[in-house]
Structure 1
């Protein structure tokens, strides 16, 4: 990572994404505010990318999904020693990170209040607090067992402990100060718990409101004042601001990674491939063809792809595409990390791009691809078609490959459901009614109160409560993306885009060949055949080579 990257103060202008590309961003950002079990995220894993959860040493300190997700994303994407990230196409990863920071800030404010309550009602009456915590930990351990009888036994243990506490208060063998203290030792944690419950309820309601607001299209902003330095001495705020700026710069890198059957990381697996490969023969047998380079064809294709949104008819047609020169680096299928150049803001310079396009066509090294990308369905579908041009001996080969990245898993688009239960009416017992339940139950209050003092020591909390491990190489979008083929219209959009793009590429290439005195008869015939074949394109696994 270059140390001379320009981080001067100024307006932070998003460099990627665009208007309307918010669905994937808000869906992933909503995970920071969720209160469901952390194991729920395992349901969102796809075929190639798997999350992991470190089991807790004590289940009383186990995080929920929002806590684990926020912590994991912040460390992975803003940590000082973090590895390189994979681009998240069709969304704004910085926005997701900002919501993780905002959610952590809300929880930190709650934990500050809970820590004060723990000090007043717990630390001063530590023996009683420890007894209550042991009872709740024993109940969580037994209730979490697969045996239902063990779960019932855990509840019975807690009830028995409460009964013994009452008996202990009534028939206490001590008098004077120690008698009062021992009685307070049992009662004070309960009083603190009642107060803590109110604090937890308010915070839970706030988090759920933000969760629902993000998925409902509301203007839920991420407030992170700690990222705005107020004076030159606030080094932590300045460092956070620089890390967010680096995240945006890396998101706009033009270097991507090909990982075998996983396809190009961040773009989805390769579902289709079409090749035009013919011999370069001069139009006039008595003359040689005019010399040209691969870059000449690529540049002509680039100019034509920029015009894809134009159509002779007054129809909807294509949205404005993004046309980019990509450098593709090969990595192993099981690679745990990737690396990027730190110079020039994570960008491969234009001169180097042209050199790779013209020279690195055979053997080791990175390769050049010209990509046209469509971000559709409010950012939920990313269609990328890549064009590669090579010349080996007398053979010109033009390859077009299709990649599709589907919507984020449905787990991230689910809204919070109200906590209710169905009970029988008192008089008309044959009828039922819905009764609202508190957002935070008794055991959740105990869990939050027990975790609160340790939030200032996150490493200790991770050790005791476990943590979420993100799939590597990590990128927010591809880690939890579904295949688009399960959605009929998304699949249609991906398949329909291939035909006009392929024709534009072939027309531009043939025009360059004609300008350089190349006989294009064979190229025209092959292009016509591919134009017909692509009309029946079906999604496949083009990166899985069958023996």
Structure 2
């Protein structure tokens, strides 16, 4: 079943099945939507090529500033599902649809909390506005003073709040006027405090739910994202239908066979190119009295494709390669600092897929000069989605020279920021009778300042542009893809590096054997090709990772 544009139709949230290779990386990224860390921590996940920008809000409105989960979920949903969005980079090794659905689920949980807090603010704050403003001013002064490193300033911050409380108690006892306004003034002092206790209870319930989901995802519990707004119950629910189609479009773009080469950044989504091996020899007839039987680059590529399917088989029962993904890719060159990409369009493209006849034509004809290029890719998703290995093969024929190039790309694990679980708030304090020893004191799950921040933000969440202007937001690195934006290099992990290096030798040998077989069948002298293949087979015995796209010129 399909919807408009040919995208695959589906209903309800898509959750990775037990045993999927991409669970760990997918759930690690999805857990960011439920986090309550400071928003600045997203900068810790930046890598060499991609940096996330934290856009500050108004300097006088820091109380409206979002935390990491709020900013991440809002930014990801807007970037990946927003109307008129720019094209996305595929997230190999993860399921971006699942991450987006968890962002939607986290937004829904927070929206329910904010509706309740808005009701509290209306009942206990707006009706008794003078008292709320006085208490809010006291909290803002206390927070500003408490953030300094001076211990005396911290004590002063507590004294400010205690002083305001004492004045409020005195005001209740010694009311300067009576009648209706006297009772209103008393209520204006008391009701904001009652509202704070009410709001604290709401915030703690929501924080516990969010943290349970955060820890559950990292534990691999397979917690599903509840997104009822993506399942239209009748044809008149246009918003739900639009969201459903946006999710389907995201899934279709993830399956696209079009990728982008960004110079030293490598193929976006696949990682940098760490190795390259080339076999290039002259096409000479095996029989001088006969000409070479005409063949095309596609004939060689098709033979290589068939032989690569046998990589998972071997003469010994020793485990070996898992089943790889083997696909034909159309690679488009873009600038190293390009801020956007443009996917191929026209009659040769359907649902983000370049049609097979167009792939074959590019393989045979676009080998020199401007235009897209064809690559045959064999890809493994390993370490529960934390490592993506891709070997790309391209075949070109210029004049009487056939060239077969094999390149290795590696995308490492997601940054450790996304794999850390929630910790209970606590602090170390000195023991009363043994000041040289310390003990751990558990703190409230939602501190006082956080309750005030959430309560003040809640009424403005109905209009996100104003809230973003006041409190700030984050700008995702472009061209954006969930996986490669926060990926580390695999070379710091010994076994991941070993897996990347070991894959090169067998792939190279299979490619050369398949190509030489086609050449021999078409009357080409394969002696030089065989000698060159043997030399490369020996050279690749001890490969070392390097930045193959950084030319010393």
Paired position in structure 1 for 2:390: 384
Paired position in structure 1 for 2:26: 25
Paired position in structure 2 for 1:53: 54
Paired position in structure 2 for 1:262: 265
Paired position in structure 1 for 2:207: 204
- Aligned ranges 1:445-460 → 2 under 5 Å: 445-460=451-466
Q: Whole-Å Cα distance in 1 between the matches of residues 57 and 146 of structure 2?
A: 15
Q: Whole-Å Cα distance in 1 between the matches of residues 265 and 174 of structure 2?
A: 69
SS in 1 for 2:121: helix
SS in 2 for 1:517: coil
**Offset of residue 154 of structure 1:** 4.5
SS in 2 for 1:530: helix
1:237-261 Cα offsets, whole Å, 9 max, x none, are: 1111000000000000000000011
Equivalent residues of 2:218, 2:421 under 8 A apart: yes
Paired position in structure 1 for 2:484: 478
Q: Structure 1 residues 399 and 513, CA, compared in 2 at 3 Å: closer, same or farther? A: same
Where structure 1 has 5 or more consecutive residues not aligned to the other structure, the ranges are none
Q: Structure 1 residues 363 and 489, CA, compared in 2 at 3 Å: closer, same or farther? A: same
Q: Whole-Å Cα distance in 2 between the matches of residues 56 and 133 of structure 1?
A: 19
1:155-209 Cα offsets, whole Å, 9 max, x none, are: 4444433333333333332211111111211211111001110111111111111
Paired position in structure 1 for 2:234: 231
Equivalent residues of 1:85, 1:250 under 8 A apart: yes
Q: Structure 1 residues 171 and 443, CA, compared in 2 at 3 Å: closer, same or farther? A: same
**Offset of residue 424 of structure 1:** 4.9
Does residue 502 (structure 1) correspond to residue 499 (structure 2)? The answer is no
SS in 2 for 1:467: strand
Q: Structure 1 residues 80 and 16, CA, compared in 2 at 3 Å: closer, same or farther? A: farther
Paired position in structure 1 for 2:356: 350
Normalising by the residue count of structure 1, what TM-score does the alignment of the two structures yield? 0.96
Q: Whole-Å Cα distance in 2 between the matches of residues 302 and 152 of structure 1?
A: 71
Paired position in structure 2 for 1:327: 330
Q: Structure 1 residues 278 and 152, CA, compared in 2 at 3 Å: closer, same or farther? A: farther
SS in 2 for 1:273: strand
- Aligned ranges 1:382-531 → 2 under 5 Å: 382-424=388-430, 432-531=438-537
> Considering only aligned residues, what root-mean-square deviation do their CA atoms show, in Å?
2.1
Q: 2:140 aligns with which of 119, 137, 142?
A: 137
Where structure 2 has 5 or more consecutive residues not aligned to the other structure, the ranges are none
Q: Whole-Å Cα distance in 1 between the matches of residues 12 and 173 of structure 2?
A: 67
**Offset of residue 145 of structure 1:** 5.2
Equivalent residues of 2:21, 2:381 under 8 A apart: no
Q: 1:281 aligns with which of 279, 284, 287?
A: 284
Q: Whole-Å Cα distance in 2 between the matches of residues 372 and 233 of structure 1?
A: 45
Q: Whole-Å Cα distance in 2 between the matches of residues 516 and 11 of structure 1?
A: 53
**Offset of residue 130 of structure 1:** 1.8
Q: Structure 1 residues 148 and 349, CA, compared in 2 at 3 Å: closer, same or farther? A: farther
Equivalent residues of 1:129, 1:189 under 8 A apart: yes
Q: Structure 1 residues 355 and 297, CA, compared in 2 at 3 Å: closer, same or farther? A: same
Q: Whole-Å Cα distance in 2 between the matches of residues 162 and 10 of structure 1?
A: 54
Paired position in structure 1 for 2:41: 40
Once the two structures are overlaid, the 10-residue window that deviates more, 347-356 or 13-22, is 13-22
Aligned residues: 546
